[in-house]
Amino acid sequence: MNAIERIESTGVIAIVRLDDYSRAVDLVRALIDGGIDAVEFTYTNRQAGSAIEAIKSALGDDVLAGAGTVLDPETCRSAVLQGADFIVTPTLNVSTIRLCQRYSVPTVIGAFTPTEILSAWESGATFVKVFPASAVGPRYLKDVSGPLPQVKLIPTGGVSTENAGEYIRAGARAVALGGNLVDAATVANADWSTIAARSRAAVEAVRLARAG
């Protein structure tokens, strides 16, 4: 499967937003043990590019390494050259979408209103990240998906193992989990079994929701 198919198949993206990415490889191994192989490292930390290089070197195609919080095409190009398999933005930036198309790299483009969501899709976004999803909840995705069924939505912000299934049933193609999946204390304690267990629970929530 290609990157797009893998993201849709598993249905979960792990968002890693930490002050320290030095344990990135061990963290990703734990996520993979739980069934999540798409992992986004946010560029709010300048170590993100190095973390992507490290996990791709150690794990290769076992992981889809994403670059998150990408605000401009310059950061996007740097991330792609460092090995990013997909690009995630918090807002709509058409220039970033076009650069990713040039490199054939999938995008998860942030948007909120129906107008922004459709604009991102028409501009070539692979997926549209509904952010912050916590502000509107699963019902909003269902309402948006009604007139825009062609748009592949991924809710982000406040998504957890407890509500992931609700978002899938509301029409999400996948969900993205951040602090509810990967938190600083658990990583600092190298509690990889807990990370793997959370990963497994998230994947199972998506599977059960899809199974009805």
The domains found in the chain, sorted by start residue, are 3-211 (3.20.20.70)
> Stretch 29-43: mean pLDDT, rounded?
98
Question: Residue 53: pLDDT above 90?
Answer: yes
> Strands across the sheet with 175-177, in order?
153-155, 127-130, 107-111, 86-89, 64-68, 38-42, 12-16, 175-177
Task: Centre a 10 Å sphere on the Cβ of residue 120 and count the other Cβ atoms it contains.
Answer: 26
Using CA of residue 63, residue 130, residue 172, residue 31, what is the dihedral sign? Answer: positive
How much is the pLDDT for 135? 96
pTM, full prediction? 0.97
Give 87: exposed, middle or buried? Use CB within 10 Å, 0-12, 13-18, 19+: buried
- pLDDT bin (cut points 50, 70, 90) of residue 4 is very high
Q: How far apart are CA 8 and CA 31, in angstroms?
A: 17
pLDDT tens column, 58-117 = 999 999 999 999 999 999 999 999 999 999 999 999 999 999 999 999 999 999 999 999
List residues with catalytic annotation: 40, 129
